[in-house]
Structures are given as C-alpha cells and as structure tokens.
Structure 1
Amino acid sequence: MAAHVRVFIIFTAAYFLSYFYRSANAVIAPNLAQELALDASQLGLMTSLFFATFAAVQLPLGVGLDRVGPRWVTSALMLVGATGSLLFAFAHSLAALALGRALIGVGMAGVLMGALKAFSRWYSPHRYQMLSGFLVGVGSAGALAAATPLAWLNETVGWRAVFVVGAVLVAGVAAAIAFGTRNTPPGIPWSGHAVDLRVLRAVFCDLRFWRMALLVFFTNGTLLAFQGLWAGPYLNDVYAVDALTRGNVLLLLSAGVTVGFLLSGWLSARLGLAKLVIVGTALFIVTQLVLALHPPLAVMALTGALFGWSGGLTIMLLAQPRYVFSVEVTGQATTAVNLFAIGGAALVQWWMGWLIALFPSVDVRYPPEAYSAALLVTAASTTAMLIFYWPMHRSDR
C-alpha cells in the first residue's frame, strides 16, 4: 500500500473512533440516566466533559503538533482515551463516568488536528482541501455506528461491553499511527518548530480568526451537542419512541452529517469555502427552527438529516486557517479554531441540558417546550455569529 494512502486510511480510522465516542451517549443516555439516576443537567454536564477536556488540550496540542509532529502526539493521546473507555465501561457512579468521559476526550483531542497537520505535509493545498472533507466525511461514519448498531448492541450485550471493545480498538489504531505512519513523506525530513508564543498572539489578534472561531463555536457546538446527546432525549421525550426507532432516526441524522462532510471539500473547491460555510449555516439555522416546532416524526427525521447535512458543510471552518495563516503554523492556527469548535460542543451541550432542566420533568421525561427553548437559543446565537462572519466571503477567490 502506498504510504500516502496508508496515512489517510489510518488517520481516518482514528477519526471514525473519535466520532463514535462523541456520539455514543445520545443512544445510551436513557440507560445511563436510569442506571445511575442522572437528571438532564447531570447527563449534559457529564457528556460535555468529552468536549471540555478535548478543548482544553487544543492549544498545547497545536504546539506539540508543530514541534513533535502528529505521529507520536496523536498516538500517545489515544492511549489515554483507551484508558478512559475502560474506566467508563466499569463505572458505577457519576464521578467515575465523568472521569472516564473526560479521559476519552483527552484521548481523541489529537485525532482530527493530527490528521490535518499530517495532511498539510503529505498533500498539496488543493488535495488538502479535498482530502480534509473526505477525512471528516468517512470518519464521521463513526456516528452511524453510534446509532442503530449501537442501539442493537446496547440491547444485546450492553453498553459496558461496547466500551471495553472500543478501548481495544482505540489502542490498536494508536499503535498503527505510531508504527505505520510518518510525519512527512519519505525523503523529506521533519523539522519541528520551537514554541513561540508570538505565533498564537498573532493568530488571536487577527479579526479573521475571531470570525471563524465564534461561528464554529455555535455551528459545530450545536451539531455535536444535538447529535452527540440531546437528539436522543428529544426523541424519547417528545415522540416517546422505542430504542430501535430512536437509533434509526439518529442514523438518518448522522448519515446527513456524513454526506455533508464528504461533500464539503468538493463543494468548497467549486463555490468558495466561505460562501459554502455561509449557505450551510443559514440552512442549519432553519432546521433548528423546524425542530423546535416538533413536526410529525417523519418530517422530524428528514429535518434531522438536513440538520446534519447542513451542519456538516460548516466543518470547512476547520480547514480555513490553512488559507489564512502560513503552513508552518497550521497546527497552532487550526487547533486554536478547533478550541472554539470543541469548546462550543462542551458548553452548548451543557447549556442545553441546563435550559431543559429548568422545565419540570415527569419520570425523567421533559416537556416538548423544554427542547423548543434550547433549540431557539442555539438558532438565535448561530444567526448572530453568521452575521459577524459574513465579511469572510470576500476572501474566496
């Protein structure tokens, strides 16, 4: 197998696992709530720890990727994630679940950014844009595995067994990255860059950075908060569907995300990256408004797929720093934007739980109005950030 193909496949496998873990709690949330007597606020906070620790790692991760390279940084972090998966599998308290979830977040923190850093060295700028979209598209199929297949496995062997097997797979892919990939193509030496805080200062002082970062905070944050957790309780509480139906609807939503990711690179190369982000975000806002109205289940399922597809298109915000900042600091610039993307997922997921918990529950079920309130807040916030991002469309060539 050609080395450049192997690099793509291994990093994509890692991202598949990362996306599985970030989405899994949407399916097993009712089980977790029942077994450990968790309310919506506790469930939201515990689940959001994946994204909180993921975000906390981003800035030092960027320095590590630029200095040491993705080969060893990504694989070492993934071993932490494997440990967290085992702890989560054997947890019998909220504290243990929370610690396991937090360690999984640390472990997966370097997967996407490591892949983008590797791709920036292995592929030309044009192929980088295309392959970045393919990476997140194919890798996001992990969310498909965290839908109907996980619902079936949960009913068959239980969620604890799933997380044990997941730990083994994560450790295996970590070994594949360490021993099956390189930081650079053969014949090109790796030259790491020393830590220079001036680089981050320049990034954070650039207004274009804030336009990207604040928009991705709410686009990626809302997408992952809903797909990764609240879509499950939304279906359970508003529509009272069984676990398999819930899994099927989540599968459709996740399929939309996957298609959006797959098409994002191709479409951005033709329409312009910023223009695609603007169109995708506008449609993403509309779907949130429709979901807030609680349409019939069939309409909701189709809207959910459109929600996933349009949200998936906005992933190109993570590729945009490659065209704004120099390639030598791609790791730090991209992880700085990703800090807001994942930080948004952590905070939006938590905030949605806090808003939902303000409404009275009956048998751990919340009224439809609770989910309407949460979705209307995310739609309004995303709209405000889209207006702020708007001038970026001038950067398209």
Structure 2
Amino acid sequence: MALRVFLLFTLGYFLSYFYRSANAVLAKDLSAEMGLGPAELGFMTSLFYLAFASVQLPLGGLLDRHGPRLITPAFLLLAALGSLVFGLAQSFPLLALGRALIGVGMAAALMGALKAFSLWFPRNYATVSTLLVGLGATGGLMAATPLAFLKEALGWRGVFLVGSGVVVLVALAIALGVRNTPKGVAWPQGGGVGGLREVLGNGPLLRVAFLALAFAGSFLALQTLWAGAYGYALGLSALEVGNLLLLYSGGAVLGFLVSGYLADRLGTARVLLFSALLFALGLLFLLLKVLLPAYALLGFFGAFNILTLTQARELVPAHLVGRATTLVNLFGIGGTFLLQWGVGVAVGALGYGAAFLGLLGLLLLGVGLYLPLLRKG
C-alpha cells in the first residue's frame, strides 16, 4: 500500500507540473491565435499560480481535518474542468477562467502528497518528498520538447482536451486506491482555528516563506513561461527553445532527486542557502545571455527550493503540517503569480535585462532574511 500511495500521488503531481509548465512551449501559438501581448500572456499564465495560492490556507485546514484521500481527487476534478474550458476557449476571459480552474484543481496535488507522506514516511520524509517532486517534475520534461511534438500532432487545444480525461482518471485512482494513514496509525488531532494562528505567528516559518516567494517564485516563473519566451525573443526556433527548456527541466528533476538526500545529511538550512546562491549565479548568466550554463544552473539548483516545504514540516508539530506547508507554498506560488506577471510588465516596459535583474535582487533579499536560520542551525 505504501508504494501505491507514493506512485499515485506522484502521478498527480506529474500532471500538476505538466500543466504549470505547458504555456512556456505554447506561448507563441497562444499569442498568435488569441492575440495576446506579453503582459496578457504573463497575466493569463500566472492565473494558475494566483488561483493555486488563493486556496492554500483553506486547503491546509481541509487536509489536516479530512485527509488527502478525498480532498486531492475532489480538487483534481476541478482541474479537469479547467483543462476542458481552456481547450475550448474562444476568448481571453474563457482562456483565463480555464487556467484559473486548473490552478485551483492542482493546488492539492503536492500538498496532499506531503500531508500523506508525513504519516506514511515519517522517518525519511525529506528524501521521500523530494523523490516525489523529482519524479513528478518529469511533467516539466513532458512539457518541453515532447510537448512541442505533441502540439504539432494534436494542436494546443487537443493537448488540453485529452489532458482533461487523463486528470479524471488519476483523480479516481487516488480516491479508490489510497488510505490517509497506514493501518494502526491514528489520524493526528488538534489545531483548529488556533492552529492557523500558530503557524502565522511562527517567525522562522515566515522567513522560510519569504525565501520561497523569491526562490520558488523565480524558478517557476522562468520555467513555466519566461525561460521559453526569452528564447523566442532571442530568435531561437521552437525546437531550440524546447531543448533549452528540456535542459532546465532535466536539471530540475536531478535537483529534486538529490536535494532531500543532501538536506538529510548536511542540514536543510545549509543546503537551501547554498542552492539559492547558485541559482542567483544562473540569473547572472541569463542576464549575460550565456544560455547553456544559465539554464543548467537555474534548473538544477532552482529545484532545491522544494526544501522550503520540507523545512516547514521541521518547524511545526504533526497536526499542523498541512497548514505549515500550505502557508509556505502560498508564498512560493503567490510569488510565482506576482513574478510571472511582473516580469511580463517589466519586459514590455524595460526589457528582459531589467526584469531578470529584479528577480536577482529579490532573491538576494530573501537570502539575507533567511540567514538567521542558518546561524540557528
């Protein structure tokens, strides 16, 4: 049963990662067919993250009270509806609505898995959780070069219509195939409304959350849109852009797979800080248009942002894991919305150089605020 729990939640997160990343490859087609400018494209794509972030805190309470077996599939069905709306949309408002519904629905994919794993795999939580993310992040690989070919065969609308049916099947598999806890393990009790106040008043947790805003927000804003759009702006072909995104997403998969292992042995705070600084180096290379090292560094070390979620679990008791991880994820995904949209506005007004410099400055601010946790560790 433990292996089934791991595999089904990983499949759900694979779909979440695919959907969040797909617009990077489809940006040119969406802009051409729907008449979207950079700001509109950035806003529409970022609605995934705005919707995703808006449900994080109530989602945490639902997961802590009712468990991921029912909550995750219920949310996934909303994502299936959103995929259907997006694929059929003939106007910008409907396109935006579909993207937002996908974001709401996919909100429970990772958070439900982390809640389940805190009870199924308590002794090696960081390693198993980052293994989940590493395997699930192959959805980003699917949304790179393979999606470029799939789009040519089905069209971008066909991709979303077929995807809707796949999401429904995965939702049913989770509802019918997993348990909230192993046999003999009681469901943790406690932490009602006061539990939310407790996590909001946790100073170290808030420092982790701000780092998630800068680190995860930049990583995902680039991977899921602007790393692809930047390649097109430099005059690269769709296949060349797909290959760069494959490098980015392939590096991310490797980063996710090793980050938990390193954190369990070297300390979460130390590994998280080191990776954030190397991600900053990748942003510097991006500014200098040194593309191959930039995409490799941004993908591999950007993936270590997932340690903000595993560290959140270290800072609270078991009955608050859902709320603590969703709080940190609220900052990370909310940051992705703000940064993905903000980069579009900055690109339209000042160009890519200014936009990437802004991401670099925000990340260094997050690192500075995080430093007391390293000293404490």
Question: TM-score, normalized by length of structure 2?
Answer: 0.98
> How many angstroms does 1:395 deviate by?
4.4
**What's the counterpart of residue 287 of structure 1?**
282
Within 1, Cα distance between the matches of 2:19 and 2:292?
22
Tell me the equivalent position of 2:81. 83
**2:109 counterpart residue number:** 111
Aligned equivalents of 1:92, 1:258: Cα separation in 2: 35
Alpha carbons 1:69, 1:192 under 8 Å: kept: no
Residue of structure 2 aligned with 1:385, choices 357, 361, 366:
366
Give unmatched runs, 5+ long, in structure 2: none
Residue in 2 aligned with 1:188? Answer: 185
Within 1, Cα distance between the matches of 2:318 and 2:187?
14
Letter in 1 for 2:138: A
Partner of 2:246: 251
After TM superposition, the structure 1 = structure 2 runs for residues 26-175 of structure 1, keeping only pairs within 5 Å, are 26-125=24-123, 127-175=124-172
Provide the residue aligned with 1:224 in structure 2.
220
Match of residue 204 from structure 1: 200
* % identical equivalent positions: 48
CA–CA distance in structure 1, aligned partners of residues 175 and 187 of structure 2: 15
Letter in 2 for 1:180: G
CA shift at 1:156, angstroms?
2.1
1:388 alignment partner AA: L
Once residues 186 and 372 of structure 2 are traced to their aligned partners in structure 1, the CA distance between those partners, rounded to angstroms, is 39
CA deviation digits over 1:78-112, x for unaligned, max 9? 00000000110011111011000000000100011
**3-state SS of the aligned residue for 1:157?**
helix
- Aligned residue number for residue 374 of structure 1: 355
Cα distance, 1:328 vs structure 2 = 1.2
**One-letter amino acid of the counterpart of residue 362, structure 2:** S
Q: Is the contact between residue 217 and residue 332 of structure 2 (CA under 8 Å) also seen in structure 1? A: yes
Aligned mate of 1:16, from 14, 17, 25: 14
Pair 1:158–1:132, CA change in 2 (3 A): same
Q: For 1:8 and 1:325, locate their aligned partners in 2 and report how far apart those are by CA, in whole Å.
A: 23
Deviation per CA, 1:240-299, whole angstroms, max 9, x where unpaired?
Answer: 11111111111111001111111110010111100000000000111101101113xxxx
- Pairwise CA distance, 1:159: 1.0
Structure 1 residues 192 and 105, CA gap change in structure 2 (3 angstroms) = farther
Tell me, yes or no, if structure 1 residue 309 matches structure 2 residue 306: no
- In the TM superposition, residue 164 of structure 1 has moved relative to its aligned partner by 1.1
1:329 matched to 2:320? The reply is yes
Quote the RMSD (CA, aligned, Å): 1.1
1:261 aligns with 2:256: yes
- Of the structure 1 ranges 151-160 and 5-14, higher mean CA displacement relative to structure 2 is found in 151-160
Please state how far the C-alpha of 1:124 moved relative to its aligned partner. Answer: 2.2
Check the 8 A contact 2:281/2:297 in 1, yes or no: no
Q: 1:182 is matched by which residue type in structure 2?
A: R
* Whole-angstrom distance in 1 between the partners of 2:315 and 2:98: 36
3-state SS, counterpart of residue 89 of structure 2: coil
**Which range moves more in the overlay, 164-173 or 183-192?**
183-192
Amino acid at match of 1:391: P
SS in 2 for 1:184: coil
Amino acid at match of 2:372: P
Match of 1:215 in 2: 211
Contact between 2:188 and 2:319, CA under 8 Å: does it hold in 1? no
C-alpha separation between the residues in 2 aligned to 1:394 and 1:13?
Answer: 37
Consecutive unaligned residues of structure 1, counting only runs of 5 or more, are 360-369
Structure 2 counterpart of 1:347: 338
> After TM superposition, where is structure 1 displaced by more than 4 Å over at least 4 residues in a row?
none
Question: SS of 2:236's equivalent?
Answer: coil
Contact map agreement 1:75 1:177 (CA 8 A) in 2: yes
- For 1:34-67, what per-residue CA distance to the aligned partner results, in whole angstroms no more than 9, with x for missing partners? 1011000000000000000000010000000000
How far off its partner does 1:222 sit?
A: 0.5
1:192 to partner: Cα distance: 5.3
Number of aligned residue pairs: 377
* 2:329 equivalent to 1:338: yes
- Alignment-derived partner of residue 173 in structure 2: 176
Cα offset, 1:394, TM superposition: 3.5
Contact kept in structure 1, 2:286 and 2:294, CA below 8 Å: yes
Deviates more, 1:49-58 or 1:311-320: 311-320
**Are the counterparts in 2 of residues 216 and 340 from structure 1 also a CA contact under 8 Å?**
yes
